Amino acid sequence: MLILHFVNKKRGKQAEKVYTERYDKLLEEIKKVQPQYASKELKEEIHNVVEKIAKPTTAEDWFIKAWSAQVDENYDKAIVYYERIIEYKPNFIDVVYNNLGNVLIGKKDFDKAIDYFNKGINTTSDALTLNAINYNMGLAYRRNGEYSKAIECYKKVIEIEPTNVELYIIIANLFDTNDDLDNALQYYHKAAQIEPKDARIYYEVSVACMKHAEKLFKNAVSHTDLLLADNWRNTAIKHLQRAAQLGDAKSQELLSKLDEV
């Protein structure tokens, strides 16, 4: 069900599968309002339904209004509507908590967003919903600068999506941000095992290795330190070359600049 892509824009098909059964009656109403339902943009569809349901009387009605406000980035209204839904104690309260968390991310109120995500985790019994909430909570921690907690959230998502390359790259980036190069390279390596021709992975590895090399050069106190730094620099260039071979424009540009030095 397209209206329920709210769980995560990258996981629309999963959300569709999880929530279709809950909203069959609502879906029929939407189809009556918009015959070409499946081919229209999500935002337009929601607005058409909102126009029909001018006076919400059920949790589902309020949900449509709340989601419409969220799509429009009218976060204050969305919060009011979602909180109204909570009063009904619907069987999709986990979804409401998840959406409230996402709205609060939009408002950059990350601590409160995390509180709602935790409520969602404590009330859901659905594995895919739990997965989506963990992903969103990881985003909240990430934007709040709590990288270790973000990593733990994303690791839980990977348990359900073990071939999701994006997640491995995100986790690797977070480890690198925390100056944990060993773990960063481990997750980049896992990403490369899944998508060996993804140029982004090799570019990210090169950036991480070059950053480490520069740090070693800066703090070098012996010839051995300089040799180690040079080894890391060579490793960075090697991965940069691989990314360039796979067509990454940024890598090709950087290699050209290195050749000029």
Local confidence band at 169 (pLDDT 50, 70, 90 cut-offs): very high
Q: Are 203 and 250 in contact (CB under 8 A)?
A: yes
Predicted local confidence at residue 231, as pLDDT: 95
Phi/psi zone of residue 73: left (φ > 0), alpha (ψ -120 to 50 degrees), beta?
Answer: left
Local confidence band at 254 (pLDDT 50, 70, 90 cut-offs): confident
Dist. CA 72–CA 78, nearest whole Å: 9
User: Mutual orientation of helices 223-245 and 199-219 as an angle, nearest 10°?
Assistant: 160
Local confidence band at 72 (pLDDT 50, 70, 90 cut-offs): confident
Residues 6+ apart with CB under 8 A from 216: 225, 228, 229, 232
In single-letter form, the type of residue at position 13 comes to K
Predicted local confidence at residue 16, as pLDDT: 37
Local confidence band at 14 (pLDDT 50, 70, 90 cut-offs): very low
* Residue 26: pLDDT over 70: no
For residue 3, which of 59, 54, 43 has the smallest C-alpha distance? 43
Domains and CATH numbers, the chain: 1-162 (1.25.40.10), 163-261 (1.25.40.10)
Local confidence band at 153 (pLDDT 50, 70, 90 cut-offs): very high
Dist. CA 116–CA 121, nearest whole Å: 9
Chain segment 102-148, per-residue pLDDT in tens = 999 999 999 999 999 999 999 999 998 999 999 999 999 999 999 99
Phi, psi of 195 (to 5 degrees): -130, 80
pLDDT > 70: percent of the chain:
78
Q: How far is CA 70 from CA 58, 142, 170, in A?
A: 18, 21, 25
Burial state string for 14-41 with b = 16 or more CB within 10 A and e = fewer than 16: bbeebbeebbeebbebbeeebeebeeee
Tokens of 90: 């619907």
Local confidence band at 8 (pLDDT 50, 70, 90 cut-offs): very low
